[in-house]
Amino acid sequence: MLFFVDPSRESDTYALPDAEVFHADACEWWYTDDGERCDAPSVFCPVCEDDMVWSDTEEDHVCAECKREAGTKVRPCGAGFYWWYSLPGCLPDSEPWGPFDTEDKAIASAREQNS
């Protein structure tokens, strides 16, 4: 759903919504420690190419032996509502923020961040 980050712009006839809120399932996309979206990891450790070992305490996706050597950790997104800057008909203008429990909480976060 598209919405206005600044709700006072909703009454402007010529203004376009400038953000979008959406729901994502867990592991729908992956991201790095820097917060950038990336491809899902392969079933092999990116460092030594052995089979992956999934950690119960962390969501690291490198094998136990390479855990300390791996520079970038890749993690799945959590389930919930996210928002990002986006104009109608355009690709998103930012990385997604979230997850939030409800659509309303995601919109409130966008408006709070931009007030």
Whole-angstrom distance, CA of residue 59 vs CA of residue 53: 10
Mean pLDDT (the chain, rounded): 79
How does residue 31 score in pLDDT terms, banded at 50, 70 and 90? confident
Contact 21, 103 (CB under 8 A): yes
- Per-residue pLDDT, averaged over 23-40, amounts to 77
pLDDT (tens digit, 9 = 90+) per residue, 42-96?
545 555 555 554 444 444 555 555 554 445 566 778 899 999 999 999 999 998 9
- Per-residue pLDDT, averaged over 13-21, amounts to 96
Non-local (6+) Cβ contacts of 13 within 8 A are: none
